[in-house]
Copies of this chain bind each other. A is one copy, B any other.
């Protein structure tokens, strides 16, 4: 698919996608004869995974690390797994932290509600 469709499907702007390619997050993107990028469903899956990692707070630099291991093939599976496990653990504690913050917020809101009638 062309840039327009890929951009629409990934919800990332063409600018951002070119930027991701530039920093090495997207590699081996096909080009058609006129030099335009041509994306595949594999690319779609990979960008979806990038977005997942981003939305869980992983900085692009770490995603790039994972991406580089991926490019080296199967032999890096163990390292990649370790990276994901680390990230999962961080995510877990962040979620726990956020749940605590949520109940603290609820308490504060409750306090405002009670004071409304006073």
Query: What residues make up the interface of A, taking CB atoms closer than 8 Å to B?
Result: 52, 55-56, 77-78, 80-81, 84-85, 87-88, 91-92, 94-95, 97-99, 101-102, 104-106, 108-109, 112-113, 115-116
Asked if B101 contacts A55 (CB within 8 A), the reply is yes
Nearest B residue to A84 by beta-carbon distance?
A: B109
Tell which of B88, B101, B106 touches A105, judged by Cβ atoms closer than 8 Å. B88
Q: Which residues of B contact A81 (CB under 8 A)?
A: 109, 112-113, 116
The smallest C-beta distance from A95 to any residue of chain B, in angstroms, reads 5
Cβ-defined contact, A88 with B109, below 8 A? yes
Cα A98 to Cα B81 with chains together (Å): 19
Chain B residues with CB under 8 A of A112: 77-78, 80-81, 84
Q: Which residues of B contact A108 (CB under 8 A)?
A: 84
Judging by beta carbons under 8 Å apart, are A115 and B52 in contact?
Answer: no
**Does A77 contact B115, Cβ atoms closer than 8 Å?**
yes
Q: How far is A6 from B92 in the complex, measured between Cα atoms in Å?
A: 30
Question: Please, could you name 9 A-B residue pairs with CB atoms under 8 Å apart, sorted by A?
Answer: A52-B101, A56-B105, A81-B112, A85-B109, A88-B105, A88-B109, A91-B101, A91-B105, A94-B98
